[in-house]
Structures are given as structure tokens and as C-alpha cells.
Chain A
């Protein structure tokens, strides 16, 4: 069983469209994250949720809206896609009691988004 899964793996779309990426973890973790990896492979955190509550929101345009229907799922919806949104988006999860921040994060395989 895949620990952290993402769908779709590839997403090609036109500028201006709205798209969603889904993430599920079966590890029983309480914290989930979205990271963006740009074309130079630089990784930056976008959001994190702990028990469905938004904990981290890193200066991300409000076109990006995460949603966590339950502890095991964290989806990312992107409105009005722009060329600069092209990147690989990684979902991750960890067990972070009280936000201690020292536990391993488990990453999904990534979703490669290409905006034309």
C-alpha cells in the first residue's frame, strides 16, 4: 500500500483554468503539507494542516486554496492558473504532536503541473 498518494501524477492545462490535486495518506498521521518544487528543484512549503486545521500558510497567492476534509486527505485547488504555477507539487505527512517538528515527513510521488 502506498503511504502517501497523489492524483493525478501529471496535469497539463491551459492558462486561466482551475484544477485540483488530491492527496491521501494511510499512515494515521495528524499533519499534512503541500510543497512546491520549481524547475530548479527548489522546494518550498506552501501549507500545512494539523487535524484539519490550517497551521502554515506561506505567502501563497490566494488562487491556491487547500482543503482538508479529514485527517487523511489534503487537497489543493488552484484557480486561474498562470504560467508560473508550472512546477511539481508534493504532498507530505508526519506525526507532529504539539507541532514539535522533529518527525520524519513522508512525501508523495509528486504531481507535475504544466500550464500552457
Chain B
């Protein structure tokens, strides 16, 4: 069985500040991990993914995430927040031969203050 927990349903940062969105997973098989972003009234867009290669993964828009097996975590970071980063962020887990099934966390809404 697989599950994802995102700590904090809402995170607020100032423009230029570090963004840290937390994700912990549980998986009975080696996990594939994803971060998706959803802008208001839009579909989801992939930010980055981990598929058992490098543990530090770089994505689009300056985001990156580090896979830590010992901590079962896959936290998303960005050194300097921009107003355009305000959106809903979803962490998701899948696994080998799962037919593409993504299990999503409950989402974290990121607000960026000027």
C-alpha cells in the first residue's frame, strides 16, 4: 500500500524567501515520487519527479526536491519565492508496475506575500 502526507495545508512566505513544502510517503515497493503544481482553475503540471536515479532532483521554475529514504521524505524547496509561485502543490507516489496509479497527498497551498 502507498500513501502520502503533506505537512501543512497552507504555507505563507514572503517574496524572495525560501520555500519549503514537506512531503512524507509510505510505500511497500520502491517509490516513484512526484511534485505537481496546480494554478487556480487549471489542471496539474509536473514540477519534478524521482524515479530511483539521483536523489536530488531539479525541476522547472527553480524548484528542487531531495529523496531521503531513511526519512521517507521528498520535500520540495525553492531558494527564493516569486509571486508567480502562489499555487496549490501536490506530492504524489507511485510504484513499479502500478499501472500509472498516482496516490496524491492532500495538497499544500502556497501564498507569497509581497
Contact = CB atoms under 8 A, between A and B. Distances in A.
A98 B96 CA distance: 10
Contacts of B107: 41-43
A99 B97 CA distance: 5
Interface in A25-46: 31, 33, 40-45
Contacts, number: 77
A86 interface: no
Name the interface size band of chain B: 20 to 34
Given A40-B106, A90-B44, A109-B42, A101 B90 contact: no
Contacts of A92: 43-44
Given A41-B107, A100-B96, A107 B102 contact: no
B100 A31 contact: yes
A72 to B, nearest CB: 16
Nearest to B106: A42
B45 interface: yes
Interface in B58-114: 88, 90, 94-104, 106-107
A9 to B, nearest CB: 9
A68 interface: no
Contacts of A44: 104
Nearest to A44: B104
A55 B12 CA distance: 39
B5 interface: no
A116 interface: no
Nearest to A95: B100
Contact of B101 (A56, A90, A103, A110): A56
A22 B99 CA distance: 22
Given A41-B88, A98-B97, 19 more contacts: A4-B43, A31-B100, A42-B104, A43-B104, A44-B104, A45-B101, A45-B102, A55-B99, A56-B99, A92-B43, A99-B99, A99-B100, A101-B94, A101-B96, A102-B96, A104-B34, A105-B100, A107-B36, A110-B42
